[in-house]
């Protein structure tokens, strides 16, 4: 469990660097990420490199025994490069090149830029790959940020045609897979295929899905080129990339397959304001963030890069240290939250928590983004709390071993990028948001006190006792096999198995290949306007409500466990498999999941919304996301290591089990 | 009264066709519409036609005595055609070509596409025009869908200039008609005139109105070319086009003038979600649809194509059979609604109700649109209900004659596309929606139990006892004459006569030429922000409210029948003419219309919002748009033919008068 | 105090003109503005001028002793000019030329249009500059209306590069000023710099700020060219321009520096509907307008053009006379409001109030905009009220001198265009609207009965006893000096001094150079989502609330005067300087400002929201913005000149002090 920080030596006078490094060290930080936006300083003119400053920066950090996480600088190609290769710019869905002046102004399919990316990566890795300070690499920065995965460039169109030709072999196969007989969309050759933009109305959904798959593969290929060079020139250093939150534009599992460590950038308050929470939730969690937003991603990214022992290697590469600048509203965290978030990440298995950024920059786009230091170099509240965690870590490490601790979650929640794309392409109801549903179900699990692995559809499932498919629109054969062979309780949320790989309705109707397990067939689906509420009742009369989405089940080999007031099964059970026919409220999901957990022999709790408990090895960690104290004695908690049974506002407690 | 279905043989293996046809027949269907999106199958390569499959499809249907409604396939030109004539694409108001990949990707003004349209129409009609199975034609499909009437193409600009030159003769006349002296917009020649797009602020309203008129005329001309070819090559078969709901982008009366039968596509649940209803109404009517949405269009399209006896010939060409895919939310109809909608259409005079579509397609854009059959070929609920109607029709036909029945409505509501364009070009208040007002007034009439003809401003008005002008911004001389010569009670909603044909304020102020009839002058108009409510009181003290819009009447030769609390007349009467000064609530409109109906000697009822009654010949039909039973004994109902005086939820009853 | 009207003789038959002029005179009008949109009539073909009609129009007005305010017609270049110079069109941020067909279709940076502007100005001024009827000039019309200040044209890009080269001298200086090291945005030369449009995400804020400054300077230069020609060819006539309300796209103080008289266009009801008021406020003030909207602008524009005695010379050039056409909703003013608005303007020092427009035009874009006359030439309500004011003015002038009266406000509120641009470029919270905050604080001052000068940051401040900085994100050295030298009470709203001139955070943190005066440092800022409310308490326990924005003060040399319930100072005081840490509600601002006013020795009142009192010389004027009578006896009011102590609904009273 290490602390780190993101640093931009190029932003500051060189005479500040040594003192900065000394203060980092004193604060308990041991890793420093640098370089991801420094191309114009590294290569100020085409082919002319200025290494002196970067040599000195790395040496200065090294002198304080700080490990450097070095980045390839490809997220911000300099103006001279854009001017030399204007075709490298991504093109938006309206056909407009996306210009220079901010960041990520490149098209993944541009061969010119790909060559430049390889060249600069080779230069940087060649110079620093074996530098003793360099302990890890990050490729590029936040792939896809600002909607930059899809590009409607000529290069993307040409690449898409080649990708389709490889995928389908013949145009007839593509015509079948896309169902182009519909609306006379048939193609006579791959050369006739455009990108699905600027169509009169909705383009063919299979066409759109393949475009997303192609674009995702381009990100994978781009990243793989960098990884290959880094592995060659910087042996032994793990290679990572910093993913984002609530971001599904490319298949992260595919990119992560080429990495050693998955990292992500955790901004709990920004995500709380900018995503799908209700206005009431945005106020309630304004200064703490929704408790389950960080852990949802911790548990997701833990599933990206498994080591030889199957342990997920992951970091928080950027941790919110105070107010940010990019959300619709940017509140300040309550005192204690930066410490809490850090402990929460460690409790979910993070190897490193690295704050973004060291010192708030007083200029340019992110000048209102706080850092550990204020622009005047005074400590901000986040730094005080980071230092506190540093001290606590040292103290705990002295009392108990912190190495090799591992999350062993009994619950798996499957997260499938391809299926999420399917749901976005045809949501069928304006507020059917599969990512939100996945989060809401996760949140219900966490409210029951359960530890959760969020896993790839390709993950081994054998160890889990409860498996949840919140948005599994398509179920591949191998996933089906693993589900069938599992002994776990299984909970299928609406739309499970609703589509084939080509984005058709399966011939046997949803849930398609899952039908044999679930014993139900979905006869009909309905999306429901806001305000339309269906009541759901269990045999004991306890009600929950449902909205947004409901399915009509035909029960072929299953029993109703709960019914809609207006008829039909809302929850159907066939042995260890429960199928849910609607978008339930929180009480409804907890009801279903509690029953499944009990059937799986898992003890559940009934936690307040603002209290969360996690288990890491033999540690139990509790986090209080409120401004009031709360009593908490987790089952099995024996020896308090940090805090006690009454958690202070924004407080953390750690016990040994 | 016949039932039909829309069918896409090209979507299914040929070995399914015979069984499909057999089941259609067994279900009581007698008409099958095919071919409207099949161009790429009919002509897979330029000039190479594949008739074999279509021959077989038509013969297969014919073998079951099913009549074929054949379509021209022009709504979906194939990719090879677009690639050969890229200029055929429509251009949006931002100047971007609207590309291939969905449907309706053509510009009505493209001469290249017009030629192709004539060519393919001639080919199809030449081959099947005299086929005994072919009983009717449909031109193209849903003209204008997806905002495709207006095109900012070079061809449209050139055509618009020619159209203007013909209309005005001289540029001086145009300058006068448009008032171009305002803001120095004067033109020296027709060649200087651009399309009114991408202007800095609002373009000249007369310019915009003429653009709409021109674009509408282009649709008329396009359709007329097809009709001419079909009449030549397929004599004796009626030619139709399927219009849409709440759609006013071109003048349907003008297009219909060239057709034998008007048809429209009725999706009650989709329209309920996607149009102007309040959020509360969208929930209330989510699973039944608003009761007056289908009948509003039935009564409108009945007025499009009058036969020699003045009887409106019309069909429902596409009837919603279950959930659709294209609304913001897509609920499932309550059980019984498909039957109810079918009976409602027949009660309003439909010759045919044709369901869209036979079998739900499991692929492409509309895969979530239900059909009579599920994708696995099992019967969906809609099929059960369609078959029930089929049986009921046979049963009733046995007991009483169903032929030649005719709606004879005592009330006319005038529907004027040109006037609606005027109101959209300058609404003057953000929520002044003339189409909605027309619908709200219609709904009030239906709540009074009155049968209504929605008529063209060119219609004969002599037989009506009550005539309502809900949004008649302009009153042409001949309409004025017919109104003046009528003995009917007349109700003028706000903005009647507010504009000249050129979209000027008339010299005598609104209501312009209606002033002599109404005895009022509109001194001033105000649009009112949401939340501003005016109370309106009649002499007996009964209040209603008004919002959105109010006018200040000067009473020249009229008496106030109701007044605003804050002064002035809200309803003014001069003999048989009532003028209304504001957008009233439902109670207010019912109050005004009830009084007018009584003065016209028409009996009125006071129906619950979910109960509607219609008269067809000597039949009386009641429909219950609710999930509760309702008692209903219409005045004059003598002999029950179907159902009884207590309508079941979603139930229908038919009496002989 | 004179009345005027805007007139378009070119819109009407010439035989109406003499009668129009006679009626103007009879109504008490003495000034007539003409010509601002008449280019196509003045020069119907390139180089061919038609002066006859304009000669006659001016002579006709002159014959009634009406003074003519003549305009340069550059706001509406004719079509032939656009066709000859298509590059003169402005280009929007999406790269699309903004076409002919409305108005303001020119780019300020187009040299071709600049030349044409000089040419037509010289022609018009040459012909009428010394005409005895011409008493004043207006340049162009409403610079910037319809978002026309910023243009992304090639000419603007070239001009921007030249402007930057002049401003920074070296590219290194620019790179430093913009902080381009961030995200590798560094430039190697001015030629590399694009306009900050179509970037992938937010462009550099300093880049955006400089673009705004450049574009504003282009307006200044454009106007200055016209002023120079008018001064040369029409000596002795004051030159004005009509500014708009709530419009900050260019620096009005800079443009006004070249003018003799500032004028503005006052549409109280339109502004009430179209700007930031809450829905409840939009209903409450629908028919009176918010009371402080007109006076806010009166007090702003009074500060634009000071004469030799330091008296602000300003007019209302366009006064709303009835409903307008361009707001989202367009209610009718309550009877009396046109008179009230006129008196309100005079009470704030207007030399002229000129109604827009004489007769409502029945054609083209503004046909729904009312005039003093209806389209049928009958008097509208506005005309009745204008005539009443005319009579009242004559009567008062007979009883007391109305000449040379001057507003002498004890309170200054600083209005800084540059600072407002900074806040818009990085608002940091979606509802932080600095212009609104400025207005809300002004409104609080007016509710306390205080007269206010809204002044430039370059204004002399020596005479004020209370100075308020509502949105002073940047404080220039000379402003700092004047504030430091002043003896006035000083109130700093949030974000005062938050930025340097380059739009960086100052090295010493906000409030930057104001820190020595305020004794506080802003440690951290937070923007707050809607619904998050902070309670603020004073020592006496009285609470107010705050939302949207809050700052954490470090009190270095100040005392807390009010605190947030959740800790820290909400209002901090150091001697005569109060710093406010949050966006307070109305009660909160009144509390702070009342205390400051009392410390300044200023008496305050506690006026109802709908009652406002102003002082002009020795006159006291009260206006009742409600439909109920209200009692009012202002302190010091001795001799009633108009009305009495009970103001009628929409009534006005005037006393001598």
> Scanning every residue of chain A, which has its alpha carbon at the shortest distance from the alpha carbon of C95?
A96
How high is the pLDDT of residue C288?
A: 98
| Structure-block tokens of residue A512 | 């398609």
A552 CB neighbours in chain B (<8 A) are 332
For helices A52-63 and A14-27, what crossing angle results, to 10°? Answer: 30
**Gap between the Cα atoms of B431 and A166, Å rounded:** 53
- Is residue C445 in some structural domain? yes
- Token reading at C395: 């009567």
Same domain, B417 and B390: no
Query: Is B353 strand, coil or helix?
Result: strand
Q: Do B367 and A504 touch (CB under 8 A)?
A: yes
A246, two tokens: 């609530």
> What pLDDT, in 10s, does the model give residues B190-247?
999 999 999 999 999 999 999 999 999 999 999 999 999 999 999 999 999 999 999 9
Does B179 reside within a domain?
no
* pLDDT tens digits, C234-291: 999 999 999 999 999 999 999 999 999 999 999 999 999 999 999 999 999 999 999 9
- Best residue of C164, C184, C206 to probe chain A, by most A CBs closer than 10 Å: C184
Smallest CA–CA distance, residue B226 to chain A, in Å, is: 20
Interface chains of chain C (3 or more CB pairs under 8 Å): A, B
> Which SS3 state, helix, strand or coil, does residue B31 take?
strand
Per-residue pLDDT, averaged over C594-604, amounts to 98
Asked if B283 lies within 8 A of A206 by C-beta distance, the reply is no
Domain shared by A50 and A130, yes or no: yes
pTM: 0.97
Residues C30 and C108 placed together within one structural domain of the fold = yes
Chain B residues touching A530 at Cβ < 8 A:
279, 283
User: Hey, what are C108's tokens?
Assistant: 């300020």
Residue C213 in any domain: the answer is no
pLDDT tens digits, B579-611? 999 999 999 999 999 999 999 999 999 999 999
Q: Which of C244, C185, C176, C201 is nearest to C504 (CA)?
A: C176
- Tokens representing C518? 């305020």
> Any catalytic annotation for residue A366?
no
Contacts of B248 (CB under 8 A, 6+ apart): B417, B420, B421, B435
Rounded Cα–Cα distance for residues C468 and C438 (Å): 9
Do residues B427 and B386 share a domain? no
> Which among A331, A339, A257, A343 is positioned nearest to A298, based on CA atoms?
A343
Q: Of B399, B425, B441, which marks where a domain is finished? A: B399
- What's the confidence (pLDDT) of residue A167? 98
d(CA C561, CA B49): 88
What's the pLDDT score for residue A539?
87
Write the residue in B94, B426, B509 that is nearest to C375 by C-beta. B509
**d(CA B349, nearest CA chain A) in Å:** 31
pLDDT tens across A424-453, in order? 999 999 999 999 999 999 999 999 999 999
pLDDT of residue C482: 98
CB contacts, 8 Å: B331 with chain A: 526-529, 532
Residues A225-238 pLDDT 10s:
999 999 999 999 99
Residue B341 and residue B297 share a domain: yes
Helix (H, G, I), strand (E, B) or coil at C167: helix
C190 is a domain residue = no
Q: Which of C416, C427, C506 has its CA nearest to residue C467?
A: C416
Distance separating alpha carbons of residues A473 and A465, to the nearest angstrom: 22
Residue-level pLDDT at A150: 98
Nearest to B471 by CA among B413, B516, B510: B413
Contact A368 C202 (CB under 8 A): no
In this structure, what token pair is assigned to residue C499?
A: 């930025």
pLDDT at A567 exceeding the cut of 80 = no
Would you state the pLDDT for residue C567? 78
Q: What is the mean pLDDT of residues A340-344?
A: 98
Lowest mean pLDDT among A539-543, B428-432, C113-117: A539-543
Could you tell me which residues are beta bridge partners of residue A468?
A413, A491
Distance from CA of B28 to the nearest CA of C (A): 53
Closest partner CB to C529 (pick from A44, A148, A329): A329
Name residue C538's beta-bridge partners: C562
> How many of the other CB atoms lie within 10 Å of CB of B359?
24
Q: Token digits for C202?
A: 């937010």
C624 in a domain, yes or no?
yes
Out of C198, C430, C552, closest to residue A99 by CB: C198
Residue among A529, A552, A556 with most chain B CBs within 10 A, to mutate: A529
Strands (DSSP E) found in A314-449: 314-319, 352-355, 411-414
Residue to substitute from B95, B175, B183, B204, interface C, most C β-carbons within 10 A: B183
Contact at CB, C332 and B552, closer than 8 angstroms: yes
The structural domain count of chain A equals 3
**pLDDT tens figures, B126-180:** 999 999 999 999 999 999 999 999 999 999 999 999 999 999 999 999 999 999 9
CB contact under 8 A, C201 and A103: yes
For the segment B63-81, the average pLDDT, to the nearest whole number, is 98
pLDDT for res B185: 98
Res A510: pLDDT? 98
Q: How many CB pairs under 8 A join A and B?
A: 177
On the question of a cis peptide bond just before residue C597, with omega within 30 degrees of 0, the verdict is no
Cβ-Cβ contacts under 8 Å between B and C: the total is 177
pLDDT at position A521 over 80: yes
Q: Which of A123, A218, A249, A318 is catalytic?
A: A318
Q: Which one from B318, B385, B436, B534 is the annotated catalytic residue?
A: B318
**Partner chains of A (3+ C-beta pairs under 8 Å):** B, C
pLDDT for the residue numbered B596: 98
Looking at the fold, whether B537 and B435 belong to one and the same domain comes out as yes
Percentage of chain C lying above the pLDDT 70 cut: 100
Band (B402; pLDDT cuts 50, 70, 90): confident
Mean pLDDT of chain C: 97
Q: Report CB contact under 8 Å: B76, A184.
A: yes
Say what the pLDDT of residue A292 is.
98
C184 CB neighbours in chain A (<8 A) are 37-41, 73, 76-78
Please give the pLDDT value at position B399. Answer: 87
pLDDT above 90 (res A14) = yes
B609-649 residue pLDDT tens: 999 999 999 999 999 999 999 999 999 999 999 999 999 99
Kindly state whether residues B367 and B269 are assigned to the same domain. yes
Mean pLDDT, rounded, of chain B = 97
Distance CA C264, CA C299 (A): 11
Report the chain C residue with the minimal C-alpha distance to residue B507.
C376
C509 contacts in A (CB within 8 Å)?
Answer: 374-376
- Quick check: B364 and A185 CB within 8 A? yes
pLDDT at B541 over 90: no
**Which chain B residue shows the shortest CA-CA distance from A550?**
B331
The yes-or-no verdict on residue A542 having pLDDT over 90 is no
The reply to whether B202 falls in a domain is no
Helical axes A381-399 vs A337-347, angle rounded to 10°: 40
| Average of per-residue pLDDT across A533-560 | 95
pLDDT surpassing 80 at residue C487? yes
B288 three-class SS: coil
Residue C404 is predicted with a pLDDT of 86
Element (H, E) at A551: strand A543-555
Using alpha carbons, list the distances in angstroms from residue B160 to B104, B143, B557, C363. Answer: 21, 19, 44, 21
Minimal CA–CA distance to B268: which of B237, B293, B300?
Answer: B293
Give dist(CA A547, CA A420) in Å, integer: 20
pLDDT for position B493: 98
pLDDT, tens digit (0-9, with 9 covering 90-100), for C84-116 = 999 999 999 999 999 999 999 999 999 999 999
CATH number for B646: 2.60.40.1180
| Model pLDDT for residues B276-290, shown as the tens digit of each residue | 999 999 999 999 999
Range of the domain at A395: 2-146+233-399
Q: How far apart are CA B606 and CA B597, in angstroms?
A: 13
Check residue C95 and give left, alpha or beta (phi > 0: left; psi -120 to 50: alpha). Answer: left
By Cβ distance, the residue of A201, A431, A509 closest to B103 is A201
Nearest CA in chain C to B196: C101
pLDDT digit string, tens, across residues C175-192: 999 999 999 999 999 999
Q: Shortest Cα distance from B445 to chain C (angstroms)?
A: 29
Q: Residue A592: its pLDDT value, please?
A: 98
- Are B363 and A532 an interchain contact pair (Cβ–Cβ within 8 Å)? no
A332 interaction partners in chain C (CB closer than 8 Å): 524-526, 552
A91-102 tens-digit pLDDT:
999 999 999 999
**CA of B563 vs chain C CAs: smallest distance (Å):** 17
Give the minimum alpha-carbon distance from A180 to chain B in angstroms, rounded to a whole number. 7
Share of chain C above pLDDT 90, in %: 97
DSSP helix/strand/coil, A441: helix
Predicted confidence band at A166 (pLDDT cuts at 50, 70, 90)? very high
Residue C524 CA to residue A499 CA, distance in Å, equals: 50
Alpha carbons within 13 angstroms on the beta-carbon side of residue B230 total 29
By DSSP bridging, strand A534-538 and strand A559-564 are antiparallel
Contact A622, A652 (CB under 8 A): yes
8 Å CB contact of A331 and C179: no
Residue C30 and residue C21: Cα distance in Å, rounded? 10
CB-CB under 8 Å, A102 with C505: no
DSSP annotation of B379? B
Closest residue on chain B to C334 (Cα): B566
pLDDT greater than 80 at residue B77 = yes
Q: Which of B188, B200, B529 sits opposite C282 (nearest CB)?
A: B529
Proportion of chain B above pLDDT 90, given as a percent: 97
Residues 6 or more apart whose Cβ sits within 8 Å of residue B392: B642
Residues C586 and C528 in one domain: yes
Which residues of C are tagged catalytic? 142, 318
In the predicted structure, residue B567 carries a pLDDT above the cut 80: no
Instruction: Give me the CATH number covering residue A265.
Output: 3.20.20.80
The fraction of chain A above a pLDDT of 70, given in percent, is 100
Range B410-434 average pLDDT: 98
CA pair distance C536, A639, nearest whole angstrom: 43
Whether B363 and B466 map to the same domain: the answer is no
CA of B572 vs chain C CAs: smallest distance (Å): 20
Instruction: Mark whether B509 and B419 lie in a shared domain.
Output: yes
Contacts of A94 in chain B (CB under 8 A): 94, 96
- Cα separation, C581 vs B304, in Å, equals 67
Which tens digit of pLDDT belongs to each residue from C216-237? 999 999 999 999 999 999 999 9
Q: Measure CB to CB from residue A368 to each of C186, C206, C426 and give the nearest one.
A: C426
Is the reported ipTM for this assembly greater than 0.90?
Answer: yes
Nearest alpha-carbon partner for C579 in C472, C502, C435 = C472
Is residue B217 in a domain?
no
Token duo for residue B224: 């007329």
Phi-psi region of C179 (alpha: psi -120 to 50; beta: other; left: phi over 0): left
Confidence (pLDDT) at C525: 97
Distances C476 to A344, C458, C462, C481 between C-alpha atoms, Å: 46, 9, 17, 9
Boundary residue ending a domain (A333, A366, A399): A399
Mean pLDDT of B505-533: 97
H helices within B43-88, ranges in order? 52-63, 79-84
b (16+ CB within 10 A) / e for B133-160: bbbbbbbbbbbbbbebbbbbbebbbebb
Tell me if C163 is assigned to some domain. Answer: no
Inter-chain contact A199–B39, Cβ cutoff 8 Å?
no
d(CA B119, CA B281): 47
- Is residue C401 predicted with pLDDT exceeding 90? no
Query: Residue A583: which CATH number?
Result: 3.40.50.880
Q: B503 contacts in C (CB within 8 Å)?
A: 363
Show which of C346, C376, C399 is a domain's final residue. Answer: C399
Distance CA C467, CA C293 (A): 20
Decide if B211 contacts B196 (C-beta within 8 A): yes
For residue A312, which of A338, A349, A270 has the smallest C-alpha distance? A349
C552 CA to chain A: closest CA distance, Å?
10
Q: Do C415 and C552 belong together in one domain? A: yes
Indicate whether C541 pLDDT > 90.
no
Same structural domain for residues C384 and C250?
Answer: yes
């Amino acid at each position: 469990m290490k602390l780190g920080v993101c640093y931009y030596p190029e932003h500051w006078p060189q005479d500040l660097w040594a003192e900065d490094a000394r203060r980092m060290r004193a604060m308990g930080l041991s890793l420093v990420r640098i370089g991801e936006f420094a191309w114009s300083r590294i290569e100020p003119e085409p082919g002319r490199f200025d290494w002196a400053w970067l040599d000195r920066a790395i040496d200065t950090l090294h002198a304080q025994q700080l490990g450097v996480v070095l980045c390839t600088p490809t997220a911000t190609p300099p103006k001279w490069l854009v001017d030399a290769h204007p075709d490298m710019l991504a093109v938006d869905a309206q056909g407009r090149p996306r210009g220079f002046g901010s960041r990520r102004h490149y098209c993944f399919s541009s061969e010119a830029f790909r060559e430049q990316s390889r060249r600069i990566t080779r230069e940087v890795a060649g110079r620093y790959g074996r530098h003793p300070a360099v302990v890890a690499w990050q490729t590029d920065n936040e792939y896809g940020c600002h909607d930059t995965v899809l590009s409607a460039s000529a290069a993307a169109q040409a690449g898409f045609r080649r990708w389709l030709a490889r995928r389908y072999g013949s145009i007839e196969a593509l015509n079948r897979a896309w169902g182009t007989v519909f609306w006379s969309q048939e193609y006579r050759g791959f050369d006739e295929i455009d990108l699905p933009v600027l169509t009169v109305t909705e383009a063919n959904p299979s066409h759109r899905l393949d475009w997303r798959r192609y674009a995702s593969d381009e990100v994978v290929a781009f990243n793989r080129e960098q990884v290959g060079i880094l592995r060659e020139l910087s042996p032994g250093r793990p290679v990572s990339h910093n993913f984002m939150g609530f971001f599904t534009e490319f298949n992260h599992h595919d990119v992560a397959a080429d990495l050693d460590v998955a990292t992500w950038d955790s901004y709990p308050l920004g995500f709380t304001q900018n995503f799908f929470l209700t206005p009431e939730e945005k106020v309630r969690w304004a200064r703490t963030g929704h408790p389950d937003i960080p852990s949802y991603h911790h548990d997701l990214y833990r599933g990206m890069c498994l080591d030889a022992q199957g342990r997920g290697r992951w970091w928080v590469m950027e941790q919110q240290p105070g107010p940010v600048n990019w959300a619709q509203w940017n509140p300040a965290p309550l005192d204690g939250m930066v410490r809490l978030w850090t402990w929460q990440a460690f409790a979910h298995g993070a190897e490193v928590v690295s704050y973004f950024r060291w010192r708030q920059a007083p200029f340019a786009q992110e000048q209102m983004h706080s850092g550990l230091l204020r622009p005047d170099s005074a400590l901000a509240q986040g730094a005080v709390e980071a230092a506190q965690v540093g001290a606590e870590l040292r103290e705990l490490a002295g009392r108990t071993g912190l190495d090799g601790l591992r999350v062993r979650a009994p619950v798996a929640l499957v997260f499938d990028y391809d299926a999420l794309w399917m749901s976005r392409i045809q949501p069928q109801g304006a507020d059917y948001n599969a990512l939100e549903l996945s989060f809401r179900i996760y949140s219900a699990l966490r409210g029951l006190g359960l530890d959760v692995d969020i896993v790839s559809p390709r993950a081994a499932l054998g160890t889990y006792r409860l498996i949840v498919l919140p948005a599994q629109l398509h179920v591949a054969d191998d996933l089906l096999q693993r589900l069938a062979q599992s002994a776990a309780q299984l909970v299928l949320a609406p739309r499970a198995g609703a589509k084939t790989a080509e984005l058709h309705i399966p011939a046997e109707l949803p849930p398609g290949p899952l039908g044999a397990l679930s014993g139900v067939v979905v006869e009909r689906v309905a999306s429901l306007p806001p305000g339309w509420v269906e009541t759901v009742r269990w045999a004991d009369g306890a009600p929950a409500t449902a909205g947004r989405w409901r399915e009509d089940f035909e029960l072929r080999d299953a029993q109703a466990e709960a019914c809609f007031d207006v008829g039909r099964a809302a929850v159907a059970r066939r042995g260890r498999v429960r199928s849910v026919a609607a978008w339930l409220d929180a009480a409804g999901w907890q009801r279903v999941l509690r029953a499944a957990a009990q059937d799986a022999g898992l003890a559940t709790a009934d936690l307040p919304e603002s209290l969360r408990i996690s288990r890491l090895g033999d540690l139990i960690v509790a986090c209080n996301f409120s401004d009031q104290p709360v009593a908490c004695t987790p089952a099995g908690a024996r020896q308090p290591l940090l805090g006690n049974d009454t958690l202070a506002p924004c407080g953390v407690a750690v016990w040994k089990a």
